[in-house]
Structure 1
Amino acid sequence: MADEGTPVGRDLAELLGAVQNLLLNAPKVEEFLTDLAKLAADLVEPPASCGITTSYDGQPRTVVSSDPRAAQVDEGQYTGGWGPCVHSLATGEVVEIADQESDPRWPEYRVHAVALGVRSSLSLPLVVNGDVIGAMNLYDFDEPEAFDIQNRRRAETFAAQASTALALALRQVHDAELTDQLEQALATRSVIDQAIGILMAQQRCSAETAFSMLRKHSQNNNLKLRTVAERMVAKVSGQAAQQPAPFRRRPTATGIESAPGLSDGVPDA
């Protein structure tokens, strides 16, 4: 076993830098997490196996893994609700198993893990804004006590960085979803305004009266207001209602793309 002064696995600074590159380059959170698991596996030498566990509908689930073995070890814990990754996810505690064959905790899991060849393991919580949203599970199949003080510190530093990156990745997803919602709302408002303009010209009435007429027709025919407006515009113009230009996404000072207008409430012109 290497002492604290001996480099172990890939350089930690290199791995942490790779996490940031993943965040900037991975187009989807699923791909980001998959590559993150593969990077985590390289924290020790020879590489471990890594699975990332999260909770879905109240049940633990492996969302990604560096290889099939990690997923098998993870999933063997879920049925009974026992094991290091489940415990880390539930409590936010770091769980280290120095020697899987002799560790007294979770005896049913021990049989499962030993059968799959696990010699030692380390499970670390992934914490975002004070909430545990996942657990990063490292399994070594080569020797007991693979996660000595140096390796544990490396893993804890990596997990903290991964948690921060994951929080930013989730924010990107949220911003993208919000942008889609804004675009949909803008498109709805646009076609309704077009229909109101048509009614105002036809009926020689105010915008408020025209909108009331649209809404009444919508309610009487059990149709969405946007559907009523689209049909009216298409009938009068002979073509589909004109849609507004989509929101453009632009880079921020941090290099993370954001939807324009989300910070100040005013979309780009």
Structure 2
Amino acid sequence: MSQATDAGDLLASLASGGDLGSFPGDLVHLTARQVPHAEACGLTLTRATSGVTVASTGPLADRADQRQYRLDVGPSLESMRTGTVVRVEDMATEGRWDPYPAQAVELGVRSSLSLPLDVEGRSAGALNLYATEPGVFTAQDESVAAGWAEQATGALTVALRIADSDDRADRLTGGLDTRATIGQAVGLLMAQERCTAAAAFDLLRIASQRRNVELRDIAAGIVGAFEEGLADRPGRW
């Protein structure tokens, strides 16, 4: 399956995920599938001075991430803290972040590639790829992974903006939950306009400001129009 097809799958996930809750899991599996030499993938988000894995493809990535948090050193934390891509050719000969490399080898990790996630000018985490063989990650791997890191950054940006919008709406309406509708509208606009998640959210915000209509109502109109279109198609129940 091509990266373009997988990106389409990701858009479908955003459109149907509501609060984007399924996005991290979809992202790490699609990344591991598309990056040629990746055997496992984990998504680290910043938490205080360390990190937390919000999604992984399985035990290899999860244990490799968790060991770094426990030691407070490692390539994913380095990437997250410095905003740089960090590649490890061979954990068996790696001299940085002692004692993590030796422990990574014990877990079965021999090489890794971590890419930073920067959301609205601040560090948000890292996308981490792992392999059981040394020296496998190439420039092509990094290029493909960078595309998925960009998808993650866009989705996280939207998630933060939705949370902020939802919080304001809660204060104004006494608890009305708008997150699902906004998330669906973002996904639909991404597919329609072929744009990033952040750009799609900005389209909603601009429409809200120009029309002087609440953001949740703009989103509801987009979702409603889409559902009406589906109902009008011939052959549907």
| Both structures adopt the same fold (TM-score exceeding 0.5) | yes
Question: What is the alpha-carbon root mean square deviation over aligned residues?
Answer: 2.9
Note closer, same or farther for the CA distance 1:247–1:45 as it changes in structure 2 (3 Å cut). closer
Letter in 1 for 2:14: L
Q: For 1:176-228, what per-residue CA distance to the aligned partner results, in whole angstroms no more than 9, with x for missing partners?
A: 3332222118xxxxxxxxxxxxxxxxxxxxxxxxxxxxxxxxxxxxxxxxxxx
Q: Contact 1:19 / 1:162 at 8 angstroms: preserved in 2?
A: no
Structure 1 residue 56, shift from structure 2 partner: 1.8
2:119 and 2:65 mapped to 1: Cα distance?
21
Answer 1 or 2: which has greater helix percent: 2
State how far apart, in whole Å, the 2-side matches of 1:82 and 1:25 are. Answer: 37
Counting matched residue pairs gives 198
- Residue type matched to 1:174 in 2? D
Which residue identity lines up with residue 95 of structure 1 in the other structure? V
Cα contact 2:53–2:66 (8 A) shared by 1: yes
Task: Say if 1:150 and 1:45 are closer, same or farther in 2 by CA, change over 3 A.
Answer: closer
Deviation (angstroms), 1:37:
1.5
CA radius of gyration, larger in: 1
The match for 1:206 is: none
| Structure 1 contact 127–133 (Cα < 8 Å) conserved | yes
By relative contact order (CA 8 Å, sep 6+), the higher-ranking structure is: 2
The residue matched to 1:55 in structure 2 has which SS? Answer: strand
- CA displacement at 1:76 relative to structure 2: 0.5
Deviations 1:245-266 (A, max 9, x none): x69857478366869x953555
- Partners of 2:50 and 2:77 within 8 A in 1: no
In structure 1, the residue matched to 2:23 is 32
SS of equivalent residue, structure 1 residue 99: coil
The share of aligned pairs that are identical, in percent, is 35
Give the whole-Å Cα distance in 2 for the aligned partners of 1:109 and 1:61: 17
CA contact (8 A) 1:20 1:165 kept: no
**Judging changes above 3 Å, is the alpha-carbon distance between structure 1 residues 109 and 247 closer, same or farther for their aligned structure 2 residues?**
closer
Indicate conservation of the 8 Å contact 1:53/1:63, yes or no: yes
2:158: which partner in 1?
168
What TM-score does the superposition give when structure 2 sets the normalisation length? 0.72
Structure 1 residue 41 corresponds to structure 2 residue 32: yes
Q: CA deviation at 1:67?
A: 1.1
Tell me which of 177, 189, 211 is aligned to 1:254. Answer: 189
State the secondary structure of the residue aligned to 1:176: helix
**Residue aligning to 2:85:** 94
Unaligned stretches of 5+ residues in structure 2: 191-199, 218-237
Which residue identity lines up with residue 130 of structure 2 in the other structure?
A: Y
Q: 1:177 aligns with which of 167, 185, 188?
A: 167
CA shift for structure 1 position 107: 2.8
TM-score normalised to structure 1 length = 0.64
Q: What residue is the counterpart of 1:156 in the other structure?
A: 146
